[in-house]
Structure 1
Amino acid sequence: MHVGIVGGGINGLCCAWIFAQAGHQVTLFERDSIMNATSRASSKLLHGGIRYLENGEFRLVREALRERDAWLEMMPDLVKPLPIIYPKYRSGKRPRWMLGLGFRLYGFLSSGSALPPPKWLGPSGVMEKSPDLRSSELEGGYLYHDVQMDDYHLGKWVARQCLHLGVNIQEYTQVRSVSGDGTVMLDDGSSQRFERLVNVAGPWAEHLLTSSDITPKHQLDLVRGSHLIINRNCLHSLLLEVPYESRIFFVLPWQGKTLIGTTEVRQSLDDEIGCSDKERQYLITAYNSYFTNPINNNEVIDSFAGLRPLLRSAANPGKASREYAIQKNDNLTTVFGGKWTTARALAYKVKHKCLA
């Protein structure tokens, strides 16, 4: 069967990979270069999503934990176990019993993983691992493990698997419209018809349907997530509460520097995708509230941002579901949402839906 894929991010590449593994002929269209948008602007983590448990997304967390471990087993050269501490301060929004319940559930859902289960550390244990943290009001913290990746190079590895299996990857090829009979209309006026067509264009998936006069059954919230790279060595990975908010953010080691993120800002497809001055100050302020040696703008050596396609489900983007949805219109299948960690699992579901 000849299958067309629209979108060269990690979800599109994984769809192409899984279809090609099953023996299908696959052509993938990407309007820019592959792995050049949202999939390259992640927090560099393959993770279950500890905070998604607060929204009751147990199925997604279990799937993500399983896929996290699968990536670790497949590509140990590009992904590494990462110990992370969630410090508990007296002024924090979440009481210790709530954190304990969440981390116990996280450990339960990752049963069978090669990574150690979460455990509680006293204040001295936290300070021993992260001595630059503020010690006042510190009650201890939970140590847990997820996985750090190089998102761009891991995505390029998936692309190489696709090429090895004969996938035709057409970069810098804009798809203008799609149709239920499997036809794509390209920007140059030409068209191609496939037996099955998958629209996995990430933030642009809903727009591609509406511009093709196809009614989407789901709506996307486009939420910008920005990160800063600080010219400072990170002593230990941390998951921290934004002061006076229920949001959390990461402080992570990255290539000998410190990665801080992320933000959640709604925007449209027409807006520039980049870290704003307001977001930069937001992350610096959040960081400085926890560390004894504050940072300033001069230590920010880089920033990046990605546009996350989230299923519209809540007024607060922080509470929006991280689940994904699949819509089928005859020979056209569209993906709404999707996370880096679960891209492979999503691809298997897309294949099953397409061929059903």
Structure 2
Amino acid sequence: MMNDLHNVALDIMGECSFGKGFGQTNPTKDIDFDFDKSTWERIPSAIFNGMTKRYQFVYVKRFLRRLGYEIEFDWPKEMISAIKAVTEERETNREKTRPDLLQHLIDEGQNPATSMKMNVRDVVDQMSEILLAGSETTSGTIACFFLEIMRNKSVKEKLLKSLPILGPEDPIISSKTVRNGTEYEYLEACVKETLRMHPIASEMGRKTGPEPIELMGYLIPPHTVVSASYRELHRNPAHWPEPMRFWPERWLKNRPEGVPPPDLQAFYPFSAGKHSCIGINFAWAEIRMVAANLLTRYEFCELPGQNIDWRQYITMQFEGGSWKVSLMPRYEV
């Protein structure tokens, strides 16, 4: 299911960014482009492979830079060509414009280093990083959401009972409906509790300045990356009683007696301040919509005998990326 949710997130990002999905969830769907369809469908894997190379050699680049050498790791050529073709199509055929992220960058984007209008290469770089940041994080959060729901029987029963039962032909539930609808209040609480226990961007690093500083008795050298763990904060019993308990009732407006309120001063799933997640509202909308539209139509059961371990990469992920579940329709077939 982890892989399936990642494919869903990639296609959502493709639709909202370029106006076209990447064929990850429906490979048979025609994609209206003037170049090879398979090239477009390979863009997500090219982005992840390219970003992996950049992270692998980041310290090598710094070392070589001190010796006077400068090396750059570029995106795959066919990926650049594909995104460039879409960008040029928009620029030459204004009738095909639509209010998506690509169009915004074409019309309003500026290179922060030069304050000049973004060229095609600037757009490629921005769109690549947006696709990476907007797919891996949300799909991981949604996977953790379903993991907790399926491993907490009482929560699952209460959640399914609170939700309406919809069929394939019913309208898609919007994020606003989940946010404001009383019948989705417990679903919203489950999402927030997931973000507490499993903040996907679990650590945030910042670099110290040119002078050493002393912090809590520790001497930190200049230009040192110091990382604060949101995960540890969200699981600190001083702020969250029974921190390892998946307890959505914390987030309800009318909490049952004995349920502690959430400590919002110790809740930062999207960071905070001017460096907080720029896509926070998009992430909330995607998580709400995917969770609501799946759970109103299907009941999920985890296949037995699976042990989920975690690994820290760019974000926190399931080890191996595999997690198997079964789905049963809640509606009459």
- When the two structures are superposed, what TM-score results if normalisation uses the length of structure 2? 0.25
The structure showing larger relative contact order (alpha-carbon pairs under 8 Å, at least 6 residues apart) is 1
The answer to which structure has the higher strand fraction is 1
TM-score by length of 1: 0.23
The structure with the larger Rg is 2
